[in-house]
Amino acid sequence: MKRIFTSILVVGAMCAAAPSSASAQRTQKPVLHGRHWVAITGKPMAATAGAMMYQKGGNAVDAAAAMLAAAATMWDALSWGGETQALIYHPVEKRVIGLNALGVAPSGATAEHFRTKGMEYPPETGVEAMVTPGTPGGLMTMLAEWGTLSLADVLGPAIEMAEGYPLEAGAVRSIRANAEEMKTWPYTRAVFFPDGGDGPEAGEILVQSDLATTLRKLVAAERMALDAGKSRRAAIMAAYDRFYSGDIAEEYVRGAGEQGSSVTMEDLASWRVRIEDPVRTTYRGIEVYKLTHWVQGPVLLQSLNILETVDLKSMGYNSARYLHALYQAMNLAFADRDFYYGDPYFPPDEPIRGLLSKEYARERARQIDWDRNDPLIGPGDPYPFQGGTNPFFDLLARWNQGAKAVTEASGPEAMRRFEEDFYMGTTSVQAADESGWVVSITPSGGWVPAVIAGHTGVGMSQRAQSFVVNPEDGPYNVIEPGKRPRATLTPSLALKDGRPFLSFAVQGGDSQDQNLLQFFLNVVEFGMNVQEAVEAANMNSFQMRASFGQHETSPGRMLLQDATPPWVQTELRRMGYTLAFAERTSGPINAIFFDWEHGSFWGGSSHHGDDYGIVW
């Protein structure tokens, strides 16, 4: 990494040439060089909240929790009723830990309930799109287990923001675009449209009095426990209990029920954050860690296993052959995601061992047509690779019959809606410190438009839309009360020689592991530094089934950067691809590279949106 001091052309020129052509011009943003700590996230104010924790003497877990709290208060990509998932490197135990803080379907959310309404999937918005809040529990668990500061310290910036902060332009656009629906929900209307107008303006101070009260109640619960002689950890968990089984939960359930939700006190009280072992693979000797199959994270691992069977570097960065290889590997991995991934705490067991085996990857790689895209490629059968028999073989054989395709013939409005759903929501949080803690988070849910649950100020998650109602659309992901939907959220950590190498995450729905895969390969195969890699032009496939809306697919559709050379475009069209273009295709990736030779951090903060990093 240290040998690279030039920066890449943002568009990459994507020449089908040697890797050196990928580092021809300067990046739009500089590398962030830090010695003591790094704080990067999707919002400048949230990054500042993380920096404040470091200044208080906190570690990377404290900083990540403060960034999460601040981002959840800002609404654009998530709110307090959403979900959190994290990978944490523990420097003392020298291991990667997974945090599962994804909410579950409420008591009334049965498949039969939605079938009787003629729905194939839960709705995109409204109270029936909700799963129970995960972010508060995830934040408090993470802080209690591995942080050093108090909940009062970590929530301080978020409470100040809830009392009034200036809205960013992106949030304002979302609020105004969804004003009609948001005004139908009384508690949402009171926050965003207090004067009955069209919505706030950029720079206007948004006051969330109810949310500020809720957050202060959490701090008060911590203080009461400390005054009673409880330990730091027990005091933070007292605040956790107040949210999930105390007066905050009571108001959440009351306010949600008033607006038609079936969520109960038992739904909240029985939900628990899960601390898990992540899954991993190796690529060229580098260990890559992801959360397991309750999110789409293993897709990246499966793709790496498949791509390890070919010589990517010799193909040339973003050549037609390279882009085709990525597209085909992702076709295979995402088809497996769509069929096999689901909540690991509900039977039957997903075949994750088979899915991640190198032997299965070699079998899948043999299915690639190197001359043309295969629009009908489906899930494989990993069961023989873990000594089992597929319980859903009959559904597997009929898989392609259920796909809902969106093509250019569907019309521009259908394509616009499909692509808008495809990139739904989320932000990312990256933090690291000189003591060795590393945190990678992709929180989401409860974005605009969200139903606010009573006087809690908490927006309800819309993640239930990622469930399916019928087994033929994904037998492991059928909605049930108490079950987690298979989410798109997917933080990443990589270790090299037993030490942190890369921490990286991105927002963007079904594009997340596509962009993260290319980021990783940009560093490992093409020698880019971390900022070059987050800005580099990526390809996006739309061939997988979307995780939102009507779970549609657009086989053969490929998004490319505007400056893709015409000879690359011509070759891709010959291979059967339908091409779309955008100015920036990197996805808003944020990342940290660990420079062990010099004892420093290299931070990469995306130029794609509002992403921002601070280092020291």
Indicate if 120 and 242 belong to the same structural domain: yes
> What's residue 7's pLDDT?
31
Indicate if 576 and 469 belong to the same structural domain: no
**Is the residue at 442 inside a domain?**
no
CA distances from 387 to 140, 339, 354, 613 (A): 40, 19, 8, 46
pLDDT, one tens digit per residue, over 317-336 is 999 999 999 999 999 999 99
What is the percentage of the chain residues whose pLDDT exceeds 70? 94
**Is the residue at 218 inside a domain?**
yes
pLDDT, one tens digit per residue, over 536-579 is 999 999 999 999 999 999 999 999 999 999 999 999 999 999 99
pLDDT, one tens digit per residue, over 473-522 is 999 999 999 999 999 999 999 999 999 999 999 999 999 999 999 999 99
Mean of per-residue pLDDT scores for the chain: 93
> What's residue 424's pLDDT?
64
Indicate if 292 and 369 belong to the same structural domain: yes
CATH of the domain at 315: 3.60.20.40
Q: Is the pLDDT of residue 1 over 60?
A: no
**Is the residue at 89 inside a domain?**
no
Indicate if 287 and 355 belong to the same structural domain: yes
pLDDT band at 425 (very low <50, low <70, confident <90, very high): low
pLDDT band at 411 (very low <50, low <70, confident <90, very high): confident
> Across residues 37-58, what is the average pLDDT?
97
Q: 3-class DSSP state for residue 159?
A: helix
Continuous H helices in 35-192: 44-55, 60-74, 111-116, 135-146, 151-162, 169-177, 179-182, 186-192
Indicate if 293 and 253 belong to the same structural domain: no
pLDDT band at 405 (very low <50, low <70, confident <90, very high): confident
pLDDT band at 50 (very low <50, low <70, confident <90, very high): very high
- Of 473, 508, 529, the one marking the end of a domain is 473
pLDDT band at 71 (very low <50, low <70, confident <90, very high): very high
> Across residues 367-384, what is the average pLDDT?
96
Judged by average pLDDT, the poorest of 2-11, 102-111, 144-153, 249-258 is 2-11
How many Cα atoms are found within 13 Å in the side-chain-facing hemisphere of 521? 31
What is the percentage of the chain residues whose pLDDT exceeds 90? 89
- Of 473, 504, 536, the one marking the end of a domain is 473
Q: Give the chain's domain count.
A: 2
> Across residues 233-259, what is the average pLDDT?
98
Indicate if 334 and 243 belong to the same structural domain: no
Indicate if 116 and 195 belong to the same structural domain: yes
Does residue 462 contact residue 103 with C-beta atoms inside 8 Å? no
**Is the residue at 586 inside a domain?**
yes
> Across residues 183-193, what is the average pLDDT?
97
Domain range for 546 is 19-32+276-426+486-615
- Of 473, 505, 538, the one marking the end of a domain is 473
Indicate if 196 and 340 belong to the same structural domain: no
> What's residue 24's pLDDT?
42
**Is the residue at 452 inside a domain?**
no
Give the pTM: 0.94
Integer Cα distance of 602 and 77 in angstroms: 26
Integer Cα distance of 512 and 518 in angstroms: 10
**Is the residue at 392 inside a domain?**
yes
